[in-house]
Amino acid sequence: MSLAIISLGLYDEKDITVRGLEFVKESEYIYLEYYTSVLHIDKKKLEEFFGKKIILASRTMVEGDDNEILQHAKDSSVAFLVVGDAFSATTHSDLYLRAKELDIQTTVVGNASILTAIGETGLQLYKFGKTTSMVFFEPDWKPQTAYDVIKMNTTNGLHTLCLLDIKVAEPTKQDLANENYVPQQPRFMTIKQGLEQLKEIELERGDNVINTDTKVVGVARLGQPDQIIKFGSIDDVLNFDFGGPLHSLIVCGNLHFHEEDVLALFK
Ligand SMILES: C[S@@+](CC[C@H](N)C(=O)[O-])C[C@H]1O[C@@H](n2cnc3c(N)ncnc32)[C@H](O)[C@@H]1O
């Protein structure tokens, strides 16, 4: 019948759009995807606000072959909720495509995203290059993709948004069937950890991508009342305590004086 992919925005239950809320009210099944980003409030608060039961959707449930979300959407109305914007820095186009292939009527409702909220730093969105993701280093796996992307962007004078890893433990089928299941607290990469990893790569590669002149912006909990934006050198920002998740990091390219004027507010 129908699938509505609804973006929730960056903060709490009140950030959903009026149109998104209308879809939720009309839906028989409501799924909440919780592994690509994290809402500030828990599932119970959302359920109270919607007056409806919410099913947590793990990565396996969304991306696996045996997809109960699409099975339900064949004969019922389904709302699939995503934190931030559903198609910004997430991989939900696969679910969208599969719904289309099954002839399920599919609607998308957008919302604020980390990709646009960073405009508040004063950095012009037009001057960002490729976005990159940083994953936690393992003893035998230390990917350098973020360093290469920053190198490419800064060579072209462009800013780089680095999204920082979220590691969510995959729940079992029994966990998901349990109405009172609360997902384990995910592991979040902090701005400090992200910068330390970049410094470690710089030490190994020595391409002078990250140095004492590099200007960075750390943003934490953007779009939320206690958000923090901090601008400075790598060591200034690395030693600042940003508090709880979520964190992102921006490595600045060439700065226009208008950008510098706004950034000065966050020194
Ligand atoms: C895979 S992206 C998903 C983005 C989401 N779909 C959106 O549109 O905002 C998740 C990453 O974005 C960053 N992020 C998301 N929300 C954030 C926020 N409010 N403040 C700072 N960083 C945030 C974090 O680095 C987090 O690990």
How confident is residue 120, by pLDDT bands cut at 50, 70 and 90?
Answer: very high
- Which range among 22-36, 55-69, 211-225 shows the weakest confidence by mean pLDDT? 55-69
What residues does 78 pair with on adjacent strands? 3, 29
What's the 142 CA to ligand 1 centre distance in angstroms? 22
Give, for 163, the enclosing helix (H) or strand (E).
strand 160-164
Q: Which of 172, 218, 223, 229 lies closest to 193, judged by CA? A: 218
Cis peptide before 246 (omega within 30 of 0): yes
Length of the chain: 267
Does residue 176 register a pLDDT over 70?
A: no
Q: Which of 59, 66, 73 lies closest to 30, judged by CA? A: 73
From 190, 246, 249, mutation site for ligand 1 pocket: most ligand atoms within 8 A of C-beta:
246
From 82, 165, 248, mutation site for ligand 1 pocket: most ligand atoms within 8 A of C-beta:
248
Give, for 57, the enclosing helix (H) or strand (E).
strand 55-57
Closest C-alpha residue for ligand 1 atom 11:
163
Contact 238, 202 (CB under 8 A): no
Token pair, residue 159, equals 């800013």
**pLDDT digit string, tens, across residues 44-98:** 999 999 999 999 998 889 998 888 999 999 999 999 999 999 999 888 999 999 9
With both helix axes pointing from N to C terminus, report the angle between 191-205 and 145-155 in degrees, rounded to the nearest 10: 80
Q: Which of 251, 33, 254 lies closest to 131, judged by CA? A: 251
- Burial class (CB within 10 angstroms; exposed 0-12, middle 13-18, buried 19+) of 41: middle
Helix runs in 34-168, H state only: 43-50, 59-63, 68-75, 93-101, 114-117, 145-155
Pocket lined around ligand 1, Cβ cut-off 6 Å = 10, 36-37, 83-85, 88-90, 113-115, 163-164, 166, 219-223, 246-248
